[in-house]
Amino acid sequence: MVGRRSSRARLSTVAVSDGLPVGSRGKGTESGSSQRPCPWPFVFQTVNAELTNSVENYQMDSKDFKFGPHYWAMHGLLSPPPKTPGLINTHKNYIANLSRIHNMQYMLPGIIAPIIIIEKTGTHALLELESKEPAADQQRRDQYALEKISEAVAAFDSDAVAMSQGSPPTRRWLELQGRTFHMLKIVSTDFSSIEQSLESWLASIIVECWGTFEVMAGDLWEAALNTHPNILCEMRGKKKEEMEGKTFPLKLMQKYDYDLKHKMGSIWRTDLSLASLASIQSAYKAAFCIDNKSILGAIDSTEILRISAMRNIIVHNSSKFDQQYLNLVSKDLKTPKGAVGESLPPFLDYEFIEEMLLPFVERSVELINAVDDWIQKN
C-alpha cells in the first residue's frame, strides 16, 4: 500500500541475530552471533527504532485513533461515598461498573505494556550480564533476566496502583505508555482488519457507560424513595389524574412481609421502566418535585443527553446517524453530526472518548451528590 511500510518491511529494518540487535553484543562473540540465544522473541525490539521517528513521518491511509492515556473515569472512581447510608450501595455498584469499563478500555495497553517491559528489560539485563559475567551459563542468564524483569514489572504495577489512588503519573509510567500507544498505532495503521475491531471496542465503551448510568440512575431513585418515602413517594410531580386510584398488587406487599416503610421505592419501581433517558427524567421530576434544581440540572444536562443519543444510534441504527438523533443533538456543538445514513465510527478515537465521557461521568457523580444533599436537607 502506497505511503505505508508493511510490518514485514519495518521489522527488517532492525537486524537481529539470536534475539539481540546486531552491534549490541558484549565481548566474547564472533561475527555478531552468540552461542547463548536470547530466550525472548525480538519483535518488540523494533519499538526503540520506531520511537526515534516521529509519528508524523508516517503517511497513514488508515485511521488515526490518537491513542494516549485516558482519565475520564477518575472523577467517578475517586468520588467519596454519599452521606446517606441508604445510597452507599448504589454508589459502590456504580464505582464497580465504572471501574470495569475503565479496565476494559485499558485492556489493550495493559497487555502490551508488560510485554514491552519484558522485552526491553530482558534484553538490557542480558547485555548487562554479558559485560559483568561473560562466562555465565544459560541458567544464570535466565535467572538474572527474570530477576530484573520482576523488578521492572513490580515498579510498573506500583505506579498503576498509586495512580488508581489519585497520584499523578510518574515519568517512567508516561514513557512506557508512550511506547505502548505507539505500538497500538503501528498495529492499527498496518493491519486494516484491526481498525474495525478498535472502532467496535471504543463504541462498546460508550454503550457500556450509558448502561452503567442507566442502572445507577434507576437504583439511586429507588434507594432514595426507600430511604425518604415522605414527599418522594407522594409523586407530586405527576398529574393528579395519574395518581387517583393508584394501586399495587398484593403480592408486592407479601414479598416484603407487609413492611413497606423502606420499600416504597422498590414498589414504585415496578410501575416504571427507567430504561431510557426520558423515563428516568420523568421519574426524577415526579418524585423530586421541590428543591430540585441541582438534581434536574444533572439529569437534564447536555452531557447526559449526548451519550444517550450516541448509544441509541450505535445499538439501534448500526452506528449511523438518523433524523431523531440529529434533532436531539442539534444544539450541542460538541456532539458529532452528519447526514442521515452516514456513520459515527470516523469520530471514534481516544481523544473523542475522553472528551465525551469525562463530563458525562462528572454529571453522573453530580446526580448522586445532588440526591444525597436533597435527602440530607429534607
Cβ atoms within 10 Å, residue 261: 8
| 274-280 contacts, C-beta under 8 A, 24 or more apart | 274/214, 274/217, 274/218, 274/221, 275/214, 276/308, 277/304, 277/305, 277/308, 280/214, 280/217, 280/218, 280/221
| Span of 33-37, 96-100, 137-141 with lowest mean pLDDT | 33-37
218 has pLDDT over 90: yes
Positive or negative CA dihedral for 200, 203, 350, 63? positive
Going by pLDDT thresholds of 50, 70 and 90, the confidence category of residue 221 is very high
193 has pLDDT over 80: no
Residue type, 128: E
Write the pLDDT tens digit of every residue in 55-82: 344 344 567 788 777 789 989 998 999 9
The domain ranges of the chain are 85-105+192-378, 106-190
Write the pLDDT tens digit of every residue in 291-301: 999 999 999 99
Q: State how far the Cα of 107 lies from the Cα of 97, in Å rounded to an integer.
A: 15
What is the 3-state secondary structure of the chain? CCCCCCHHHHHCCCCEECCEECCCCCCCCECCECCCCCCCCCHHHHHHHHHCCCHHHCCCCCCCCCCCCCCCCHHHHCCCCCCCHHHHHHHHHHHHHHHHHHHHHCHHHHHHHHHHHHHHHHHHHHHHHHHHCCCCCHHHHHHHHHHHHHHHHHHHHHHHHHHHCCCCCCHHHHHHHHHHHHHHHHHHHHCHHHHHHHHHHHHHHHHHHHHHHHHHHHHHHHHHHHHCHHHHCCCCCCCHHHHCCCCCCHHHHHHCCCCCCCCHHHHHHCCCCCCCHHHHHHHHHHHCCCCCHHHHHHHCCHHHHHHHHHHHHHHHCCCECCHHHHHHCCCCCCCCCCCCCCECHHHCCHHHHHHHHHHHHHHHHHHHHHHHHHHHHC
Average pLDDT taken over every residue of the chain: 79
**C-alpha distances in angstroms, 113 versus 11, 47, 172, 175, 179?**
19, 12, 12, 10, 8
43 has pLDDT over 80: no
Q: What is the mean pLDDT of residues 226-231?
A: 88
Predicted pLDDT of residue 106? 81
In the numeric block, the cell 508524523 is attached to: 56
Write the pLDDT tens digit of every residue in 154-189: 988 888 888 777 788 788 888 888 888 888 777 777
Going by C-alpha positions, the residue among 284, 173, 195 that lies closest to residue 235 is 284
In the numeric block, the cell 538490557 is attached to: 124
CB 73 within 8 A of CB 163: no
Q: What is the mean pLDDT of residues 361-367?
A: 97
> Which grid cell sits at 93?
455498584
350 has pLDDT over 70: yes
Q: State how far the Cα of 285 lies from the Cα of 232, in Å rounded to an integer.
A: 10
Predicted pLDDT of residue 321? 96
Q: 87 has which bridge partners?
A: none
Going by pLDDT thresholds of 50, 70 and 90, the confidence category of residue 123 is very high
360 has pLDDT over 60: yes
Who's near 378: CB < 8 A, 6+ residues apart?
228, 231, 290, 291
pTM greater than 0.85: no
Q: 21 has which bridge partners?
A: 16
Going by pLDDT thresholds of 50, 70 and 90, the confidence category of residue 242 is low
Residue 205, judged by CB atoms within 10 A of its CB (0-12, 13-18, 19+), counts as buried
> Which grid cell sits at 237?
410531580
Q: State how far the Cα of 68 lies from the Cα of 351, in Å rounded to an integer.
A: 8
